[in-house]
Structures are given as C-alpha cells and as structure tokens.
Chains A and B, each alone.
Chain A
Amino acid sequence: MYLRENICLMLFLSYVTEESQLIRELKKGSTQAFDKIFEKYFKRLYAYCYRFTKSKEDSEEIVQDVFLRLWNIRETIQQEDTLQSLLFIISKNYLINAFHKNIHPPEFEDYVDYQEKLSVEDTQRLEYEDFLQQLKLALSKLPKTQKSVIEKSRLEQKTNKEIADELSLSEQTVKNQLSLGLKTLRSLLRETQISIWFLIFDSVFRYFSD
C-alpha cells in the first residue's frame, strides 16, 4: 500500500516538475523545450481542433497558429500556468469562430440533412469536408447555367426572381434550369456515397418556392 502510493506520488510529482521545467525553459526561449511541448501536445490539439472545424486544412492552420503564438508570447507566460490551459486559451477563439462559420451557411444544413437520413446500418458516412467535396465535384460537372442557378438558389439563397434578374433569364427558365440541374446532380451522385441522401433530398422543393 505504501509503495503504490509512493509511486503514484512520485509519478505525479515528476509530471508536475516536468511541465514546470518545460515552461521555465520555454520562457527562456529554449527551442528544445518548445519541440518537446510540440511533440507532447500536437496530436491532441489537432484532434480537438478537428472536432470543431471539421476540416483537416483548417485544423492544421489553427494548430500552427496556436503553437506559433505560444512561442511568440513565451516571455509573458507565468511560471504557474499550465500548458494545458495556455493551449486552450490560445485556441479558444479560433475554434469558436470556426464553429460559427460552420453552422450558418446552407451547405451545413444539407450535411445535417444527409446524416439525419442515413440509416443506422450505413457504415459509409462521410465527414463534412468529404461531403462538401463530392457535392462540389458533382456541381462542377453541370452545364454552366444549371450550376449557376443551383448555386445562387441554394448557396446564396436568392429567390427565383432575383436569379432571373441577375442572369437575364425568365423566371420560368430559372425554374427549368433548377429542375434539370437537380436531375443531373442526382444521376451524377448515383455512384457516390451521397446518392441515397440525394434521392430523398426533400429540401429540394424549397428551391421552387419563392
């Protein structure tokens, strides 16, 4: 009993002193200390960022910015600070912004719709950025006007009349282009993992209402 407790205490102390040693050295500008901190926290910080940004590229960028900031403010760090809290505070606003950036645009609504409609057995569920990529790829294969009309209607949330004015088309043409485009998208997506969702994509019918 004594031994176990002693070992726990020693491990805890060594952890604590290791951290405070790292901080002490980081404050003095030691790149070795910085490297060790990077090794220790990169993976966790990255995984954590990804949970909120849902984008590998953004996560990489944010993690880089966070560590860079940590280095830049090294002299102002207090000895009593913990690396855990420092990294949290530095990354906080980046991630809150990323969260807001994700939930507001219409594309995310489509994604929520997609994963709502997936059944429990569907093992192939796409991550948000892969979903966006497949949708974007399919859109890029559409004829120019169909693509333009669908983007303006769904992504820019313009009414049929606004689109008609912008592209100098009649409203009827806009409606036709929309339905043609969606038909084409359906067949393009048939081979992909989001085909099943698109078949039951009933927010499609929102397109036709002004």
Chain B
Amino acid sequence: MEELYRKYETDRLTIQDLDALRNANCTEVSKGLEDYMRKEWIEGDLNLSSVSDDAQSRVKSLLDEHIRSERSVMPLYVKILSWAAGILLPLFIISTFYLYHENKQALSEEMIVTTGPGERATITLPDNTQVTLNTQSKLTYIPKVYNKEERRIKFSGEAYFNVAKNADCPFFIDAKGLNVKVLGTKFNLLVRQDEPTAELLLESGSVLFSSLVSGKSAILKPSQKVIMDQLTGKLIIVADDIRNISSWRKNELVFRNIPLSSVIISLEKVYGIRIDLNCKECSTDLFTGTLVTNDINGDLEVIEKAYHLKATMNERKIIISRIE
C-alpha cells in the first residue's frame, strides 16, 4: 500500500495501481494513508525551492487580514465595558456570535445539500458517487468520515443515485423509515417526509432495502421497484419500466393512470406554487401523459384541454375550474 502512495505522489502509477487505490477498503486506505503522510511530512524530501514567493506573500496577507479584523473587536469591547452602554452591547454580542459562528462553520462536521421548490441539483461525493436531487430534497454527509470508514448519507426527497463501485465499502442511505445498502449501482429513491409511502426503483446493480418499522428487508434486482408503507413498514416489490426512471431529470413528468388530483400535487411540488382544483368530479379522473417541468403554462394548457377546464393565476396561486 505504501508503495502505491509513493507512486501516486511521484506520478508513477499504472492503471492497475489506480484501480487498487480506488477499491481499497475504506479503513485500510485511511489508516495506511495517514501513516504514509506523517512520514512524508516529518522525513520526506520535499522540494522547497519550487514553492513560489508569490504564493507565500498572498497567503500571508490574507491571513493578516483575518487576524487583524478579529483583533479590532477588542478595543470595541474595552470601550463598551468602560461606557456600560446598553446600545452598543447588543451590537457587540451579535458580531461576536457572527465571528464564532463563522469559525464554527469552518469546523462544522456536516455537509448539507438542499434543493428548494422547482430546483434540481447534482452533487458529486468524495468517491465520485453522483447524486441528482429533485425538487425539495436534502442530502447530508460528513466529509471527515465519508469514504474513510464507510459511505453513509442522510437523505429525504427524491434523487437519482449513481453510486461508485466499491465492494469493500458499502454505501448506506439513512432516510425516514428506511435504510438502503448498495455496493455500486444506479437507482431512483423517493422518500418524502409528508408522503405515506417511499419507493426505490433499481436501474442496475443491486440494493438491500430495509424497513426500520417492520424490520423487513428486500434485495432488489434491476427493473424492480420496492414500495414501502411508512406506517406499517410493509414492503411490496413490483416490476417496473426503467425507461422512464427519473424522467424528472429530463424535465419530464410521466404519468400513467394517475388521478388528476395527484398530478396537480406533483405540479405544485415542481413549481412551488399552490394549485387549487375546483372540480370534485374530475379530481379522481385518471391522467396518462407527459408534462414538462419547465413550462407551467404549457402544462396547464394540457390539463385544460383534456378535462375542459380553465386555469387562472393570481400572485398567490393557480385556480383550475370547470368552464361554465
């Protein structure tokens, strides 16, 4: 292992070496790497003459700035004490909390990625796992630990996961009512706080899906979808069409025999705007079709035409009602 690190440092790796480095067991890599780094730091023959003076003065002035700005709080503190003025004191407290908070952020352990209504984001985790988050989703991981001892994230919302292969270091997802374990695979996971079920559709590879409430688990094969009831923890496995997996990534929402009321709710989530459907009879009608996620007017037109409805918009919400 040490040999591999040396090769990495001196740019003398082979492709097989790189594979070995990538697939090495999490703890193996972190412990061995740390020891190697310590040796390099203490005894390594580092070429100091290649370090530019520019870099040194740049860093120095940035550091001086930080340190000076911190110190300027001190005189203010002394002034306040001697004045005992209640007006300046709250200001001081706020700025101290700000500096403390800034400091805490730098040392903070968790990395959190969130998307708002109508937003999407793709993030790449330290092991090259790629996660595309759909609207209103949240992913949390701890950079210090991730990929060193295990790969574990907290998640809520909906996302498409492309998990990097590593047999020695399984990838875990902690979410509401469930736990997912994978080795290297692609899948779509939907688990929202306010929804009664959670589902995972597997595109390739294999996952172990476990319910926290019922203790039941299932191993999925590609093209299988597991649906879990949040209340009972019951799992159902169905075969599903993966052609449309995560179609939301492509700006599309594909519906097949979905009640109109649910379609409306999906649109609400995507665009982050309230939509009232004033039509009791049509709310249970089944809708089959594709809507886009970047053109609300287009979508409304589709619905208007299909059900003889009219949509009106004010600043707060959209109202859809029958044409009289």
> Could you tell me which A residues sit within 8 Å of B by CB distance?
31, 34, 38, 42-44, 46-48, 51-52, 56, 59-60, 63-65, 67-69, 71-72, 84, 87-88, 92-93, 95-97, 99-101, 103-105, 108-109, 111-113, 115-116, 125, 127-128, 156, 165-166
Contacts and interface: CB of A to CB of B under 8 A. Distances in A.
A103 B58 CA distance: 28
Contacts of A42: 51, 56, 59-60
Contacts of A63: 59
B143 interface: yes
Q: Is the interface of A mostly helix, strand, loop or mixed?
A: helix
Contacts of A71: 63, 66-67
Nearest to B127: A104
B222 to A, nearest CB: 14
Interface string B16-52: 0110011000000010011001101110101110110
A52 B9 contact: yes
22 contacts: A43-B48, A44-B48, A46-B56, A47-B46, A47-B48, A47-B51, A48-B40, A60-B55, A60-B58, A64-B62, A88-B38, A97-B126, A103-B8, A103-B18, A103-B21, A103-B22, A104-B128, A108-B18, A112-B13, A112-B18, A115-B12, A116-B13
Given A99-B8, A103-B8, A84 B41 contact: yes
Contact of A100 (B12, B58, B126): B126
A112 B148 CA distance: 23
Interface residues of B, number: 48
Nearest to B19: A109
B126 A31 contact: no
B42 A84 contact: yes
Contacts of B143: 93, 97
A116 B15 contact: yes
A133 to B, nearest CB: 16
B14 to A, nearest CB: 6
B300 interface: no
B40 A51 contact: yes
Given A47-B51, A97-B143, A103-B22, A112 B14 contact: yes
